[in-house]
Amino acid sequence: MDTESVDWALKTTRAVRRRLDLGRPVDDQIILDCIDVAEQAPTGGNQSSRRWIVVRDPEIKQELARLYQEAGGLFFTEARDQLEGTGHPREPMMRSAAHLVEHLAEVPVIVIPVIVGRHDGSGAPGLFDSVIQSAWSFCVALRARGLGSTWTTAVLAKAPELKELLGIPDGVTEIAMLPVAWTKGTDFRPAPRSPAREITFFDGYGRICESGPGTALRMADGPGMVVEVDIAAHPDVVWAAITDINLPAQFSDEFNGADWDEGFDGPALGATFTGRNHLEALGHWEVTSFVDVLEPNGAFGWCTSDPDNPGARWRFEIQPLVGGGTRLLFRLFLGPGPSGLTMFIEQNPDKEHGMIVNRLQHHRVNMQRVVDGIRDHLQ
């Protein structure tokens, strides 16, 4: 199998809106070929329950466009108008989404995958888990043939009207609406995404590893932990909170006191601050920390003890959320330099994995307390 071609099709199957060619006809057979490909996707109990509605009738497409606009399209057009010319990170996406709202009725074909059955909230398999993968296979098959689409679901808020328009029985569930057309050019590229190492957890939620297998933890592999929380506050506000080191320190059992170097009034690469612990159970200690990551409104991080060979590396990351708010991540990597933990590991090398697991679990509780505390402070 040509894995390079398969991977490229998967990586470049984009949400296509502005580059849909509204004037070029799409033959029925190419739609049917893509559905044949999609139907090879796994389905619960190997039961054929997926159905595909292909819409070409101009009047029906016009009604679908009206329902789509009423269900959520107005939000996209208003957001497009508000963000136009501001340079906001979501300006291109809103411009693209609004374009589809205004031109949906002109798309050559609209495909609506459905499945026999209604979701009852029981968690039993056989409904959405039997159709989502098939519908996405359809999108990838389009991409491989030079056509494009975008996954839209806003119209599902108008389910009764959609059922009446298309004659969909009550016992059938609508999954998505996929506008289909040839694309203007095929030079699509992979989108920016988090590397697998940052979002893949080994043997437990939040447990990460910079290298190595991840399941047999060693200090040399950079084991770590990440926690996260969504905050109903603007990214600028969250950024100000995480870079004011005394605020996160308020919620930390280990760093319940922190100060920038005397006379320093803000974060900068290479700047230092001192973290202090006052808990009797952990003993009294101080550690010098060095700012090694500074991406305004993106990431703020520091390492401990020695910037060239740190005992640990800590990092806050902020991500704006669709519809407002901010996702705050707090990330830790142990090592690679010496620390109290490495001293114990050197004395008991056969227990290295267990010691690391215990230390990460201790940090996880404390790190979660920090991000939860920041959230509660800002909301």
Question: Which tens digit of pLDDT belongs to each residue from 320-345?
Answer: 987 789 999 999 999 888 888 888 89
Give the tokens for residue 248: 């996160």
**Residues in contact with 93: Cβ distance below 8 Å, sequence separation at least 6, in sequence order:** none
In the predicted model, what is the mean pLDDT of residues 271-290?
Answer: 73
Question: Which tens digit of pLDDT belongs to each residue from 94-116?
Answer: 888 999 999 999 999 999 999 98
DSSP code of residue 206: T
Which pTM value belongs to this model? 0.82
CA distance 149 to 142: 8
CA distance to 138, 247, 318, per residue, from 233 (Å): 38, 16, 11
DSSP 92-158: HHHHHHHHHHHHGGGSSEEEEEEEES---SS--SSSGGGTHHHHHHHHHHHHHTTEEB--B-GGGGG
Domain ranges of the chain: 3-182, 196-378
Q: How confident is the model at residue 299 (pLDDT cuts 50, 70, 90)?
A: very high
Cα 164 to chain center, whole Å? 35
Per CATH, which fold does 196-378 belong to? Alpha-D-Glucose-1,6-Bisphosphate; Chain A, domain 4 (3.30.530)
Half-sphere exposure of 365 (CA within 13 A, CB side): 7
Give the tokens for residue 157: 């808020």
pLDDT score recorded for residue 121 = 64
Q: Calculate ∠ Cα 261-262-266, nearest 5°.
A: 60
Out of 172-176, 259-263, 314-318, pick the least confident: 259-263
Question: Which tens digit of pLDDT belongs to each residue from 119-129?
Answer: 766 655 556 77
pLDDT score recorded for residue 248 = 81
Q: Under CATH, which architecture does the 3-182 domain have?
A: 3-Layer(aba) Sandwich (3.40)
